[in-house]
Amino acid sequence: MNAWLPTLFCALPLSVIGQITLTSSDLPQPGVVYPLVDIAPPVLADLEFAGPNAVWDFSTVIDLNDAPQTPQPMNSASATALFVFNNPFNSSYQCDFFLPTELPDVGFDLSGIIPVDGFSNFYKTDGDAYTIAGLALGAAGFDVPVPYTDRDELFPLPLSADMTFSSTNALAMDIPETFGYWSDGTRDVVVDGWGTLVLPDGEHDVLRVRTEIFAHDSIYIPQIGTPFAFDRTQVVYQWWGQGHGFPLLEVTSLFGVPATSRYLNLSVEPSSVVETSSQEFAAYPNPAHCSAPVRIDAPQGADVEWFDARGQRVSTQRLRGMAIDAPERPGIYILRCGEAATRFVVY
Average the pLDDT over 113-141 and give the result. 81
* Domain assignments of the chain as residue spans, ordered by start: 2-7+16-270, 274-346
Q: In sequence order, what are the beta bridge partners of 127? A: none
- The DSSP-derived string for 132-151 is EEEEEEEETTEEEEEEEEEE
Q: What is the CATH number of domain 274-346?
A: 2.60.40.3080
Asked whether the beta carbons of 192 and 210 are under 8 A apart, the reply is yes
Do the beta carbons of residue 262 and residue 37 sit within 8 Å?
yes
Q: Tens digits of per-residue pLDDT, 236-272?
A: 999 999 999 999 999 999 878 898 999 999 987 665 5
Q: Residue type for 287, please?
A: P
Question: How many angstroms separate the first and last alpha carbons of the chain?
Answer: 37
User: Average of pLDDT values for 219-234?
Assistant: 82
Nearest to 31 by CA among 312, 340, 243: 340
Distance CA 127, CA 247 (A): 20
pLDDT at 329: 81
pLDDT tens readout for residues 148-182: 999 999 999 999 999 999 999 999 988 777 778 89
83-108: pLDDT as tens digits: 999 988 889 999 999 998 876 555 54
Average pLDDT in the chain: 83
Of 5-9, 140-144, 295-299, the least confident: 5-9
CA angle centred on 117, ends 80 and 236, rounded to 5°: 90
